[in-house]
């Protein structure tokens, strides 16, 4: 199973006190494949740096580069499926490029994907936490 994880979810799952920490533990244990683009990786680094500081961000990014279940993909096309927050499109584009099974998010902007016929054809489900 291949997933794309929205940055907000990723940040929430890093702390052991979070009910979503199981996502981080499952990633490290290799229970799923994480698809990343350069854009997603840069956002992860930026937001983790803001929330937890530079050293934590550096360690986490280094971990992602070492994990064998992290797949780097290039999104050659920008689909622009989410108009309400164009910044969310990087996750859709990455999921399409990676042929991901799921997008894990807490962002309600992704609800629009249920109304776009093209997005429905992709058969990428998304989970709102």
Q: Where are the domains of the chain?
A: 2-128
User: Mapping DSSP to helix (H, G, I), strand (E, B) and coil, where does residue 7 land?
Assistant: helix
Give me the phi and psi of 28, to 5 degrees please: -65, -35
CATH topology for the 2-128 domain: Rossmann fold (3.40.50)
Terminal Cα-to-Cα distance of the chain (whole angstroms): 18
| CA angle 119–123–125, rounded 5-degree value | 90
Per-residue pLDDT tens digits for 38-92 = 999 999 999 999 999 999 999 999 999 999 999 999 999 999 989 899 999 999 9
Q: How confident is the model at residue 108 (pLDDT cuts 50, 70, 90)?
A: confident
Asked if residue 119 has pLDDT above 80, the reply is: no
H or E element, residue 65: helix 54-66
How confident is the model over 6-24, as a mean pLDDT?
A: 94
Q: How confident is the model at residue 27 (pLDDT cuts 50, 70, 90)?
A: very high
User: Are 20 and 11 a contacting pair, CB within 8 Å?
Assistant: no
Mean pLDDT over each residue of the chain, to the nearest integer: 91
Predicted structure pTM score: 0.90
| CA angle 39–82–4, rounded 5-degree value | 45
Q: How confident is the model at residue 126 (pLDDT cuts 50, 70, 90)?
A: low
């Amino acid at each position: 199973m291949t997933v794309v994880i929205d940055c907000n979810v990723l940040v929430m799952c890093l702390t052991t006190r979070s009910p979503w920490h199981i996502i981080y533990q499952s990633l490290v244990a290799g229970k799923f494949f994480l698809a990343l683009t350069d854009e997603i990786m840069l956002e992860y680094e930026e937001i983790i740096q803001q929330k937890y500081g530079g050293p934590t961000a550096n360690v986490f990014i280094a971990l992602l580069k070492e994990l064998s279940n992290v797949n780097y993909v290039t999104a050659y096309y920008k689909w622009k499926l989410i108009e309400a927050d164009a910044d969310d499109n990087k996750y859709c584009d990455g999921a399409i490029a990676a042929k991901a099974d799921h997008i894990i998010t807490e962002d309600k902007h992704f609800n629009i994907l249920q109304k776009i016929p093209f997005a429905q054809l992709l058969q990428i489900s998304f989970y709102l936490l």
